[in-house]
Structure 1
């Protein structure tokens, strides 16, 4: 958007043109010249502004869900909000985070690749201190994490993935699995150094401790679902119509689906002692009167009434009536 000149600036410009200090032809020439914009090929912008806005909306929802989750788990004041959404090379992101930090790497099924959640040590240890009954004091001891501390933190961040999945549910149903918890970013190589990643920085306050939580999403992993991050997808209201041959094929598949049909002769209760002494020829009395029809269940649901009999020396039942809904408990 062009700058708006004040009345004083307009008067000064007109005065300079009238006195000859500025040449109108030179101004027109400068305006007509092609403007050159510098483009850094090492810092390729592979996400459109539309996609960045969609990612920002998704993670604003994620920040709200995280705030609720951590407030309940830590029982203290928690405030999380989206500070920035940037795209940059993976190598630049790794250089921008502390040398010793908390890195949660998780698989993003069904997508082919991994996501990264980097949690500032101040925030991570404030959480750990609260979980262990403390006041939420951040004591940086990343280099000598005990197995118990590592286990507690891994389980805590694993549960945050439920909120991440819920925030993305309108785009894709994720099945996220924690792969590793690292402390040194130099040993973590998720993608090539020049690969473009989008980094969502969440400004986090827990009690009196503040810090950042960074979500790193590689372009190569999100490439498959990038079309769904456009405004056209979000605003799309037209439902896809099935072709006639698809409907016919679906009906045939449903009609040929197998169903389990059971005819219950009756029920009985005996003691364990009687059960252990059962022998060939013993008779078990059922609670089903001969005068009442049998109940036939289809797929576990009572559906028909029937009477028992035989067909060619095979035990069979003959359907006599269709049960009405809500009458199954009477039999």
Structure 2
């Protein structure tokens, strides 16, 4: 993409041409000459912008699910949002995270490879403090986590695996399993240092503590489903054949849905003065002719015309015809 100049740069360029510091003809010659663009093969971009946007959509959903999960588990204010989605070499990701941090390594069968979730120490310690009955404040400690602290963190992130599965089900049915728990990123050797990975950064707030959760996804995981990360796939998803089992389940639930039905014997309008003067044995005339069918309403919407009667010694109505018009609420 061509570089866009700011207004100050445009003004400076025009001023230089006007004063003679720059020659317009020389600029034209430079434009015609072939320009060499430096390309770093160590930072090969293997995902298109369209695919990056799809990955961002998946993890925006994951952030919402994780927010709900942590809020219910910790009983405190939690807010998680996607900040950025970038593709970088794996080595650069390892260098960007603290030397002592919390690293969850997940397998995502049936996809190959493993993804890494890096939880900033501020967030990890706030989680621990809240789980142990505190207010969710972060703890300043230079030593490693104890075995009990590791176990507690493992338990809460194992419970949160369902959020990851649900967020990904739009493109792949995965079965995430928390395989390893590490604190030192130098011990992680999942892919080669130059391998391209997608890093999804989530800004996380727990109570008054804020920090980052970074999810590192190697290219090898996304390669089998790369076609499903295009906008064309997302647009066509709604046109796919529906699952018969899902359709049957929805139909079954709909058949058991309770609705309110009522028949209107008649209606009328009276003034406040007339209402206040009503007394015993007064007769109120309704606007319903005795030879006309009654209205039958379902959830306050006219659906049928009926006639009153008795069935097994109970007041009942018999349906005469279906109402073919359009209800006002439907317009």
Question: TM-score interval w.r.t. the shorter chain?
Answer: 0.5 to 0.7
| Aligned CA distance change for structure 1 residues 152 and 26 (closer, same or farther; 3 Å) | same
- 1:80, 1:202 within 8 Å by CA — same for their partners in 2? yes
Distance 1:10 1:141 in 2: 54
- 1:90, 1:194 within 8 Å by CA — same for their partners in 2? yes
After TM superposition, list the pairs within 5 Å mapping 1:71-220 onto structure 2.
71-141=71-141, 143-220=143-220
- 1:109, 1:175 within 8 Å by CA — same for their partners in 2? yes
**1:63 pairs with 2:63:** yes
| Aligned CA distance change for structure 1 residues 227 and 146 (closer, same or farther; 3 Å) | same
After TM superposition, list the pairs within 5 Å mapping 1:293-308 onto structure 2.
none
- 1:143, 1:183 within 8 Å by CA — same for their partners in 2? no
Distance 2:114 2:137 in 1: 31
- 1:121, 1:140 within 8 Å by CA — same for their partners in 2? no
| Aligned CA distance change for structure 1 residues 73 and 27 (closer, same or farther; 3 Å) | same
Counterpart of 1:200 in 2: which secondary structure?
strand
Distance 1:7 1:118 in 2: 42
CA offset digits 1:203-226 (Å, max 9, x no partner): 111111111100000001211111
Q: TM-score, with normalisation over the residues of structure 1?
A: 0.66
| Aligned CA distance change for structure 1 residues 200 and 238 (closer, same or farther; 3 Å) | closer
Shift of 1:148: 2.4
Higher mean C-alpha displacement, 26-35 vs 81-90: 26-35
Cross-structure match for 1:300: none
**1:35 pairs with 2:35:** yes
Shift of 1:23: 2.9
**1:45 pairs with 2:45:** yes
Unaligned runs of 5+ in 2: 242-331
The RMSD of aligned alpha carbons is 2.5
Distance 1:159 1:228 in 2: 27
Cross-structure match for 2:255: none
Shift of 1:9: 5.3
| Aligned CA distance change for structure 1 residues 59 and 26 (closer, same or farther; 3 Å) | same
Distance 1:174 1:234 in 2: 18
Distance 1:127 1:117 in 2: 15
Counterpart of 1:136 in 2: which secondary structure?
coil
**1:225 pairs with 2:219:** no
| Aligned CA distance change for structure 1 residues 29 and 166 (closer, same or farther; 3 Å) | same
CA offset digits 1:164-210 (Å, max 9, x no partner): 11111110111111101111111111111111111101111111111
Distance 2:11 2:68 in 1: 53
Unaligned runs of 5+ in 1: 242-331
| Aligned CA distance change for structure 1 residues 237 and 76 (closer, same or farther; 3 Å) | closer
Distance 2:77 2:228 in 1: 35
Counterpart of 1:210 in 2: which secondary structure?
strand
Distance 1:183 1:18 in 2: 61
Distance 2:129 2:80 in 1: 19
| Aligned CA distance change for structure 1 residues 174 and 142 (closer, same or farther; 3 Å) | farther
| Aligned CA distance change for structure 1 residues 25 and 208 (closer, same or farther; 3 Å) | same
| Aligned CA distance change for structure 1 residues 8 and 238 (closer, same or farther; 3 Å) | closer
Distance 2:120 2:13 in 1: 52
